[in-house]
């Protein structure tokens, strides 16, 4: 499924979004580090985490806006915070940071909404008592994942920047790859439109998996 998911993402997002996102996320990380260094050591670590969060949210939105995509900062539910959301055709992109030793995204309602688009990638567990769940027919929910470095390493750059397609319950990943792998999947010679078979291939694989 990994090659088909990468093809699906590549066919629906501009290359410039990923290159711009990497540039701005690294810049946001560095600026957060510099700003946090102006605080006393006792407050520095917590301040740095908060600055990273808000600066990276702004970076993802800016990357979307700079490359002609729809970017927004909707309110969370319950209302009180905002999160970054970018739309490219039927793909919805959010953001999350994870520690270097645990790549599982923290659960949050806005991430669950994005991840819910991926429920059709998963087998249906039918119940005699519950109605068959309604699954979306189109779209893909993705998270841009920045990996925080361990404390004994420099804090001015992320340990990695990844693109993930999370399980609908946020307990794992259908795809978790370095953004460089997505960038490498673009081919300059593919300027001529070719039939998009990525989703059709995914559907066949899912049907075969459910019939095993």
- Cα 13 from Cα 9, distance rounded (Å): 6
pLDDT (average), residues 64-69: 98
pLDDT at residue 123 greater than cutoff 90? no
CA angle 60, 40, 22 (to 5 degrees): 20
pLDDT digits (tens, 9 = 90+) for 102-116: 999 988 999 999 999
Q: Residues of the chain with pLDDT > 70: what percent?
A: 82
pLDDT of residue 52: 97
pLDDT of residue 200: 59
pLDDT of residue 188: 45
pLDDT of residue 120: 85
Q: How confident is the model at residue 69 (pLDDT cuts 50, 70, 90)?
A: very high
Find tokens 């539910």 and name the residue.
77
CA angle 48, 76, 179 (to 5 degrees): 60
Q: Which two tokens stand for residue 80?
A: 């009180």
């Amino acid at each position: 499924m990994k090659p088909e998911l990468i093809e699906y993402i590549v066919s629906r997002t501009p290359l410039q979004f990923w290159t711009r996102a990497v540039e701005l996320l690294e810049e946001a990380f560095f600026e957060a580090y510099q700003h946090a260094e102006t605080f006393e050591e006792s407050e520095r670590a917590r301040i740095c985490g908060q600055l990273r969060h808000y600066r990276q949210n702004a970076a993802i939105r800016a990357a979307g806006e700079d490359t002609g995509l729809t970017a927004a900062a909707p309110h969370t539910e319950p209302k009180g915070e905002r999160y970054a959301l970018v739309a490219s055709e039927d793909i919805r992109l959010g953001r999350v940071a994870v520690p270097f030793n645990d790549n599982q995204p923290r659960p949050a309602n806005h991430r669950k909404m994005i991840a819910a688009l991926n429920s059709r990638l998963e087998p249906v567990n039918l119940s005699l008592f519950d109605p068959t769940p309604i699954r979306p027919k189109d779209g893909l929910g993705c998270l841009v994942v920045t990996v925080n470095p361990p404390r004994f390493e420099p804090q001015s750059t992320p340990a990695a920047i990844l693109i993930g397609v999370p399980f609908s319950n946020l307990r794992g990943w259908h795809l978790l790859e370095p953004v460089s792998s997505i960038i490498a999947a673009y081919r300059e010679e593919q300027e001529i439109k070719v039939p998009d078979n990525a989703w059709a291939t995914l559907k066949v694989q899912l049907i075969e998996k459910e019939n095993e």
